[in-house]
Structure 1
């Protein structure tokens, strides 16, 4: 692992495991005197519901966005300045890659449940991030065997 990281991005899913992922990213950022940013990506409701719903989902999307910002602040406020906390709407791996490229991120830290078999074949955010990243990616093992990840 390089000790020359200048900007570390930690991508979280806002579950209890987010604290563990953030702690790991903070250790690396501190050792490298690097900038630390944290982000959460919300999938657009149109994607979540197949885009076939004949109604305006803007207010619901806005409520989800506000809730995500509040939850991210609960997780990150004591460690990451608000201007470095980001909630974006889009497909998680795509938005993480975009953010990393636009902000000169040289390490992305994500949580990984270490799934195998069908879960791995179906893909996960951490797998998607790993395969498209132009910088280093650290997958932090979260959740113990047999333990459910709760919000």
Structure 2
């Protein structure tokens, strides 16, 4: 009997995404599990502060479209169907938790940089995902 049936792979669309996908594929193969990919586009107001008096909607749309193209390319390389790849808008930890619940996921796979100093104290996206998840979370170490 397989331990995992449905794996949600949260990717940041950097070159590190390949390492995360590789690990998720290995687990999926070993468990005959379904893979679903997600990338969360954060609101620019969060990234740049909400007091900016600029209309960032066209830039936000361009970022979202580029993310869709990139996740489509990643998904195609590992044979994940279009219906199993998602680009969503919002806070990464909240959207990943929501999707894990909605799709009855039993494992979330996410990349994690080994944080030190202030970044360790403030936390990271992978830490936030871990602390609110209702299923197992695998943080794949990426980066330097």
TM-score, normalised to structure 1, is 0.89
Query: Does the C-alpha gap of structure 1 residues 83 and 120 become closer, same or farther in structure 2, counting only changes over 3 Å?
Result: same
Range moving further from structure 2, 71-80 or 30-39: 71-80
Number of residue pairs matched by the alignment: 143
Q: Does 1:96 align with 2:99?
A: no
Q: 5+ unaligned residues in a row in structure 2: which ranges? A: none
How many Å separate the matches in 2 of 1:133 and 1:69? 25
Q: Which residue of 2 aligns with 1:115?
A: 115
Q: Does 1:127 align with 2:127?
A: yes
Q: What is the root-mean-square deviation in Å for CA atoms of aligned residues?
A: 1.5
SS of 2:109 mapped into structure 1: strand
**8 Å CA contact retained: 2:19, 2:142:** yes
Structure 1 or 2: larger helix share? 2
How many Å separate the matches in 1 of 2:75 and 2:120? 29
Q: 5+ unaligned residues in a row in structure 1: which ranges? A: 145-151
How many Å separate the matches in 1 of 2:137 and 2:47? 26
SS of 2:9 mapped into structure 1: strand
Deviation at 1:22, TM superposition (A): 0.4
Deviation at 1:83, TM superposition (A): 1.1
TM-score, normalised to structure 2, is 0.93
Deviation at 1:63, TM superposition (A): 0.9
How many Å separate the matches in 2 of 1:35 and 1:86? 14
Deviation at 1:31, TM superposition (A): 1.2
**8 Å CA contact retained: 2:2, 2:32:** no
